[in-house]
Structure 1
Amino acid sequence: MDTQSLQAFLAVADTQSFSRAAEQLHLTQPAVSKRIATLESQLSTRLFDRIGRRIALTEAGSVLLPQARHILFTVEDSRRALANLSGHVGGRLTLATSHHIGLHRLPPLLKQYTQRHPEVELDLHFIDSEHAYQGVLDGTLEMAVVTLAPHPFEQLHVVELWRDRLCFVCAADHPLASQRRLSLEALCQYNCVLPGAKTFTRSLIEQRFAEAGLQLPVSISTNYLETLKMMCSVGLGWSLLPEKMIDSELIELGVDTAPIHRPLGYLVHTNRTLSNAARRMIEELESA
């Protein structure tokens, strides 16, 4: 088994598509198919069932999947460890961040980093924080700068860098805007627009209302905070948004509850040898 065939196998397994795997690997679809065929020939077993346009792992494919991830993880870790010996800061840094952090926290830092380390190829992914956690866990991402999970992960080294205060807000012409002080119960009489149900931010908000025995009246949800801001500003419901996003389009509400903060920071895998590029990125983050 060669690493290129294993990379093709993982790409097809993750995307459930030969064409999307080809795009991800910057190859042609026939090249990906050939690598999978070679791997199946070497192992004398079929790895994927092709039913119409649907691709699914066979039982053998499911057995190989975690082993393939482990093999590639070990190979890449060895390459990084050897490259680090020279002290050179270059190569690819696969970094994930959320859209909000990418817009509001990282631009000055990324500009400074790229100026100081021009030989680093930044492979930047804008994805949900929850998906970034999974990417660092399975080794497809070297590090992530995201909203931190409310519970620890044993395999991850997590460092908080910032705290976002979440503000209760509504449109200037919303019925709540004229009220000087509100209870959580009063808020629940009106629809709200919030992050998706499975996000770390939503879980923080739900916990606060659940502690008061209340259920959130969510009418619309999306993981894009800029979209939430727009929906809130046109009167589709009240919301909770980071303090940095509050402007003249929104009215901050006075609510009788302790401030809600969400932690932001970076995470890396505890068993991964970090590249020099990642080490320098961490230095930039911690100094900022």
Structure 2
Amino acid sequence: MDTQSLAAFLTVAEQASFSRAADALELTQPAVSKRIANLEGRIGARLFDRIGRRVRLTEAGETLLPKARQLLVLMDDTRRALANLDHRVGGNLTLATSHHVGLHRMPSVLRAFTHRYPDVALDLRFLDSEQAYQGVLDGALELAVVTLAPEPDPQLAVVRVWRDQLRFVCGHDHPLARREGLSLAELARHPAVLPGSRTFTRGLVTDRFARRGLRPNVGLATNYLETLKMMAAIGLGWSVLPETLVDGELVVLRVDEPPIERPLGYLFHRERTLSNAAQALIGELDSAADPA
């Protein structure tokens, strides 16, 4: 069973489309279809149902999916282990980072890394932290630098590098802008603009309110912190943002609560062999870490 056919199968399953899979693999759609047909011929079962433009896994496809993923991760791991033998820092490094971490924490790290290791080809992907976690678990990503989960999966090695201090903020014209000694109960009476409900950051905020028996009144939500900043600045609600985003467009609310801390760092799968390139990047991240 060739790995190219398995990779095509996984990509079609993830994209739920032959055409999108072809784009992702930089192949023609007939080439992808041929690889799937070859795989189906070897297995002796149909892997996808094609109904119009919709593509769904058959029962055989569902059964093969986790095994195919494991096989490709094992092959990738073996290639890295062999490549590491010459101790050269080069080759490909598939790395994910969240938009905020990538824009505000990673530039100096990546600048130093690419200057020191010019032979590394970075495959840098901007993903929500939650997606990056899943990508590392699935084996699609070797390393991720993101907001860390409150309770990380035990299969992952997770290392904190930075701490984000999150501040309660609003626009200058918001009715709470000039209030002193605000309580969370008072905040909860006003609409908020916060990260999406399934994000790690939203969980930190709701947990803080829950300790007081409260729930924030969320009017609007988005996973993009820069968008939240804009919405708060124009008066659509109060928000909670990292200090790195707080500027003259916003007012820091005087809330009788300590700042919420958000841990940022890197993670990788404990069962995978890290490439020399990934180990080198981890060295750069450790050097950039906040003091303990």
Distance 1:123 1:191 in 2: 39
- Per-residue deviation, 1:216: 1.1
Q: How does 1:40-119 map to 2 (within 5 A)?
A: 40-119=40-119
Distance 1:153 1:40 in 2: 34
Q: How does 1:202-213 map to 2 (within 5 A)?
A: 202-213=202-213
Equivalent residue number for residue 160 of structure 2: 160
Deviations 1:33-86 (A, max 9, x none): 000000001111000000111110000000000100111111111000000000
Deviations 1:214-262 (A, max 9, x none): 1111010000000000000000000000011110000001111222101
Unaligned runs of at least 5 residues, structure 2: none
Q: Give the letter aligned to residue 264 of structure 2.
A: L
Distance 1:123 1:259 in 2: 35
Equivalent residue number for residue 286 of structure 2: 286
- Per-residue deviation, 1:274: 0.4
Distance 1:147 1:27 in 2: 34
Distance 1:274 1:30 in 2: 35
Deviations 1:64-109 (A, max 9, x none): 0010011111111100000000011111100000000011000111
Q: Give the letter aligned to residue 61 of structure 1.
A: G
- Per-residue deviation, 1:181: 1.5
Q: Give the letter aligned to residue 3 of structure 2.
A: T
Q: Give the letter aligned to residue 138 of structure 2.
A: D
TM-score (ref. length: structure 1): 0.99
Equivalent residue number for residue 275 of structure 1: 275
1:124 is paired with a residue whose SS is strand
* Number of equivalenced pairs: 288
1:100 is paired with a residue whose SS is helix
1:273 is paired with a residue whose SS is coil
Q: Give the letter aligned to residue 176 of structure 1.
A: L
1:108 is paired with a residue whose SS is helix
Q: How does 1:1-288 map to 2 (within 5 A)?
A: 1-288=1-288
TM-score (ref. length: structure 2): 0.98
Distance 2:157 2:109 in 1: 21
Q: Kindly report the root-mean-square deviation, in angstroms, between the aligned alpha carbons of the 2 structures.
A: 0.6
Structure 1 vs Structure 2: percent identity of aligned residues? 64
Q: Give the letter aligned to residue 244 of structure 1.
A: T
- Regions of 4+ moved over 6 Å: none
Distance 2:113 2:257 in 1: 40
